[in-house]
Amino acid sequence: MGKSLFSRIRFYLFYIFLCSFFFSCATTEIQNLDPADPWESSNRSVHEFNDTLDRWFLKPTAKAYNFVTPNFLQTGISNVFSNIGSIGSAVNNLLQGKLLGFSSELSRVVINSTIGIYGVFDVASSLGINAKSEDMGQTLGYWGVGSGPYMVVPFYGPTTVRDFSSIVPEIYITPSIPDDYSARLAAASLNVVNIRSSLLSVSDLSGNDQYSFYRDAYLQRREYVISDGKLDESLFEDEFD
């Protein structure tokens, strides 16, 4: 119990440090012309750090994992983590008043956790019960909370102030599986490597300015999911000017 509490305190301190870092950038950095990305200079530096970490560590690890892990096992691992995420997704659907999404996600958890053997097999999708994923950032956006500036967090990647601030409440509505902290860290690491492995085939499609590609893709994707597929056409106005 004490170890778990200490781990949470360390996480929150690190979380507060990152928030303070980016908020300080807002007052010390020259304002960028793009209101969605006023911290571009700092963001580009962090992006470069993350990209270096990916090229030298995460990508080679993902390639090795992809080489030794059969496809069916990778699918099973993805299904397990997706099943755990469905619990938080169900709560967020409920917080948004989306009762159909809530019942769908809850049904997926029950079916996949039992018939699907703890989520290894996605039986729910086979039965036509498709995922209706929602996260806390989407919930905040649904209730009118603005996204705030775009930001790139060390080790985490692209996000916005709203989405990053939703991490802590998201932790509280997602069960701690497994209970042991070291086992959870190992499970989280496995999830990261598994996700990176699935992206190996698309990692080089970013063009010359990787930073701008990632930023625009992230912001447009988040706008899409928060608006339930109704993109704001103004996002594309610059493309046709």
Percent of the chain with pLDDT over 90: 56
Tell me how many domains the chain contains: 2
- Band (pLDDT 50/70/90 cuts) for residue 171 is confident
pLDDT of residue 197: 87
Residue 180 and residue 151 share a domain: yes
Residues 101 and 214 in one domain: no
The string of pLDDT tens digits covering residues 42-101 is 999 999 999 999 999 999 999 999 999 999 999 999 999 999 999 999 999 999 999 999
Does residue 237 fall inside a structural domain?
no
The answer to whether position 140 is within a domain reads: no
> Does 54 lie in the same domain as 3?
yes
For residue 8, what pLDDT is reported?
A: 54
Instruction: Mark which of 134, 159, 174 sits at the end of a domain.
Output: 134
Evaluate whether residue 19 is within a structural domain.
yes
Residue with tokens 């993109």: 231
Domain boundary among 134, 161, 189: 134
From first CA to last CA, the distance across the chain in angstroms is: 58
How far apart are the C-alpha atoms of 238 and 224, rounded to whole Å? 18
Average pLDDT of the chain, as a whole number:
82
Count CB neighbours of 151 within 10 A: 27
In degrees rounded to 5, what are phi and psi of residue 160?
Answer: -130, 170
| 109 inside domain | yes
Residues linked to residue 158 through DSSP beta bridges, in sequence order? 152
Q: Are residues 151 and 61 in the same domain?
A: yes
Residue 114: partners with Cβ closer than 8 Å, 6 or more residues away: none
User: Is residue 23 located within the same domain as residue 53?
Assistant: yes
Q: Are residues 93 and 196 in the same domain?
A: no
Residues 129 and 151 in one domain: no
My answer on whether 18 and 35 are in the same domain is yes
Taking each helix axis from N to C end, the angle separating 99-114 and 71-95, rounded to the nearest 10 degrees, works out to: 140
Q: How confident is the model at residue 198 (pLDDT cuts 50, 70, 90)?
A: confident
Query: Is 173 inside a domain boundary?
Result: yes
**115 or 199, higher pLDDT:** 115
Give yes or no: residues 193 and 175 share one domain: yes
User: Is 185 a member of any domain?
Assistant: yes
Residue 41 lies in a domain: yes
Mean pLDDT calculated for residue range 119-137: 94
d(CA 194, CA 58): 10
d(CA 83, CA 147): 27
**Domain housing 54:** 1-68+147-229
Distance between CA atoms of residues 183 and 195, nearest Å = 18
Cα gap 158→137, rounded to integer Å: 13
Residue that terminates a domain, selected from 134, 162, 191: 134
Q: Are residues 58 and 155 in the same domain?
A: yes
Asked whether the beta carbons of 112 and 119 are under 8 A apart, the reply is yes
48 and 155 part of one domain: yes
Residue 241 is predicted with a pLDDT of: 46
Which of 119, 127, 57, 39 is CA-nearest to residue 87?
Answer: 119
- Judge if 125 and 156 occupy the same domain: no
239 within some domain: no
How many Cα atoms within 13 Å fall on the side-chain side of residue 115? 12
pLDDT higher than threshold 80 for residue 108:
yes
Residue 30 is given by DSSP the state P
Residues 6+ apart with CB under 8 A from 43: 37, 150, 151, 152, 211, 215
